[in-house]
């Protein structure tokens, strides 16, 4: 069996040794290049797998422990799976599950989506988050989760950065990775060209940076229109190129002995403020 090429709906295969398929799945755990070349990544956990299936994500294979009784949840998903069903030796599946103690009931092999900015729906209320060169996969997953919770249209990960399809990012998103478009962009210029095209179509997109030394407090700036909200790298903040491209730099006021906020936390606060302002607009449903 070759991983990533489901031979047919409903077919069940078995993997009992460290064969080529298992080695490929194992590489998807740690090797970004292998994920990219295979066009696949692993999904671990009940909620992420459930949301991926509910959202119609391309699931190439569902792996389950061979000879182990499964819950109704797992049986139902296996019955609905359109890709290959694979019974894997429990000790091997444990290695793919991402937890030290528990044997997973299911691990999904999902297809990577294309990195196209036009996957992000835009309109008069569009709110898009851009994460500049994040280094921690967990921060990407957390920010995707916040983007989902506060109504953002999508998240763009820019530059040399951690991978949103790293299992740590997928787990931290708790399924939101499959509900909110996440796109990887090579540089800030790719995003700015996209913004320029939207402006050319008559959409007045504002590009706003976040920084502890921003010129205005975030609550004092209007976030109700189409907005691209920038969150900087965990250590260095926004790049100089991004700072020069912002329409305005916003700050989140903090107190106490903390010198700054975690990048994903700062992004979450900014997303909450945007959602709060939008709910407070006259005529808004919230």
**Per-residue pLDDT at 62:** 96
- pLDDT bracket for residue 7 (50, 70, 90): very low
Q: Which residue has the tokens 């730099």?
A: 249
Q: What is the mean pLDDT of residues 28-45?
A: 96
Q: Is residue 283 predicted with pLDDT exceeding 70? A: no
The answer to whether 24 and 18 have CB atoms below 8 angstroms apart is no
Among 33-42, 43-52, 84-93, 208-217, which stretch is predicted with the lowest mean pLDDT?
Answer: 208-217
Q: What per-residue confidence (pLDDT) applies to 117?
A: 97
Of the listed ranges 7-16, 74-83, 88-97, the least confidently predicted one is: 7-16
Q: For residues 149 and 156, is the Cβ–Cβ distance under 8 A?
A: no
Q: Is the pLDDT of residue 184 over 90?
A: yes
The set of residues, in sequence order, having a beta carbon less than 8 Å from that of 171 and lying 6+ positions away, is 44, 45, 48, 98, 141
pLDDT in tens, 136-171: 999 999 999 999 999 999 999 999 999 999 999 999
What mean pLDDT value characterizes the chain? 91
Angle (CA) 83-171-61 rounded to 5° is 10
Please, which pLDDT band fits residue 83 given cuts at 50, 70 and 90? confident
The CA distance from 122 to 140, in Å, is 21
Residue 61 and residue 85 in contact, taking contact as beta carbons nearer than 8 Å: yes
Residue 143 in 3-state DSSP?
helix
Q: Alpha helices of the chain — where are they, by DSSP H?
A: 20-30, 32-38, 46-54, 72-80, 90-96, 137-149, 167-172, 188-200, 240-245, 263-280
pLDDT at 87: 96
Domains (range + CATH), the chain: 12-111 (3.30.1330.30), 117-280 (3.40.1280.10)
3-class DSSP state of 242: helix
d(CA 205, CA 146): 21
pLDDT confidence tier of residue 234, bands split at 50, 70 and 90: confident
b vs e for 43-56, b when ≥16 Cβ sit within 10 Å of the residue's Cβ? Answer: bbbbebbbbbbeee
158 neighbors 188 (Cβ within 8 angstroms) = yes
Reply yes or no on whether the pLDDT at 18 is more than 80.
yes
pLDDT band at 258 (very low <50, low <70, confident <90, very high): low
Q: For 91-146, what is each residue's pLDDT tens digit?
A: 999 999 987 678 999 999 999 999 999 999 999 999 999 999 999 999 999 999 99
């Amino acid at each position: 069996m070759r991983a990533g090429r489901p031979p047919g709906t409903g077919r069940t295969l078995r993997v009992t040794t460290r064969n080529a398929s298992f080695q490929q799945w194992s590489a998807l755990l740690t090797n970004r290049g292998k994920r990219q070349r295979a066009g696949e990544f692993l999904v671990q956990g009940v909620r992420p797998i459930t949301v991926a299936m509910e959202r119609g994500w391309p699931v190439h294979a569902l792996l389950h422990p061979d000879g182990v009784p499964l819950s109704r949840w797992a049986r139902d998903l296996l019955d609905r799976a359109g890709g290959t069903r694979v019974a894997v030796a429990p000790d091997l599946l444990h290695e793919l599950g991402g937890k030290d103690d528990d044997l997973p009931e299911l691990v999904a092999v999902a297809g990577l989506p294309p990195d196209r900015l036009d996957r992000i729906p835009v309109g008069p209320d569009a709110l898009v988050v851009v994460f500049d060169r994040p280094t921690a996969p967990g921060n990407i997953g957390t920010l995707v989760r916040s983007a989902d919770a506060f109504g953002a249209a999508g998240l763009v990960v820019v530059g040399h950065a951690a991978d949103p399809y790293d299992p740590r990012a997928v787990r931290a998103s708790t399924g939101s990775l499959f509900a909110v478009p996440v796109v990887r962009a090579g540089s800030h210029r790719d995003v700015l060209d996209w913004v320029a095209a939207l402006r050319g179509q008559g959409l007045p997109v504002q590009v706003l940076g976040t920084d502890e030394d921003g010129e205005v407090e975030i609550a004092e700036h209007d976030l109700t229109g189409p907005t691209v909200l920038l969150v900087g790298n965990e250590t260095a903040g926004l790049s100089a190129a991004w700072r020069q491209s912002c329409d305005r730099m916003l700050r989140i006021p903090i107190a106490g002995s903390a010198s700054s906020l975690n990048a994903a936390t700062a992004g979450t606060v900014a997303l909450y403020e945007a959602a709060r302002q939008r709910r407070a607009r006259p005529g808004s449903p919230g």
